[in-house]
C-alpha cells in the first residue's frame, strides 16, 4: 500500500489518484481557482467606494457648520495621507 492524501477531511489513497491522472490536475486547478477567486473578491471588496453621506441633523446651525468643517478637514487629511 502506498501513501494517501487528506482532501476535505477524507483519506484518498494513492491508488485512486494514480489511476486517474486527471484527478491531480483537477485538484491543482481547483486549488488555484479558489485562491484566485478569493484574491479577486478581496481586492474588489476593498476598492468599493462608500455611498453618499447621510444627512446631518443638528439642533443648531453652529453645530452643523462645525460638523461640515470637521468632515472637510478629515477628508483633506485623508487625501494628503495617500
User: What is the structure's pLDDT at 80?
Assistant: 86
| Cα 12 from Cα 3, distance rounded (Å) | 9
Percent with pLDDT over 90 in the chain: 20
Closest CA to 58 of 67, 49, 50, 71: 67
Q: Does the predicted model carry a pTM greater than 0.75?
A: no
Q: 12-16, 22-26, 46-50: which range is least confident on average?
A: 46-50
User: What is the structure's pLDDT at 15?
Assistant: 65
Amino acid at each position: 500500500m502506498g501513501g494517501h492524501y487528506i482532501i476535505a477531511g477524507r483519506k484518498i489513497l494513492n491508488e485512486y489518484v494514480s489511476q486517474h491522472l486527471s484527478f491531480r490536475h483537477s485538484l491543482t486547478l481547483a486549488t488555484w481557482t479558489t485562491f484566485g477567486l478569493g484574491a479577486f473578491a478581496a481586492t474588489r471588496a476593498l476598492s468599493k467606494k462608500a455611498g453618499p453621506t447621510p444627512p446631518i441633523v443638528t439642533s443648531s446651525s453652529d453645530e452643523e457648520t462645525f460638523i461640515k468643517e470637521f468632515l472637510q478637514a478629515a477628508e483633506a487629511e485623508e487625501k494628503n495621507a495617500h
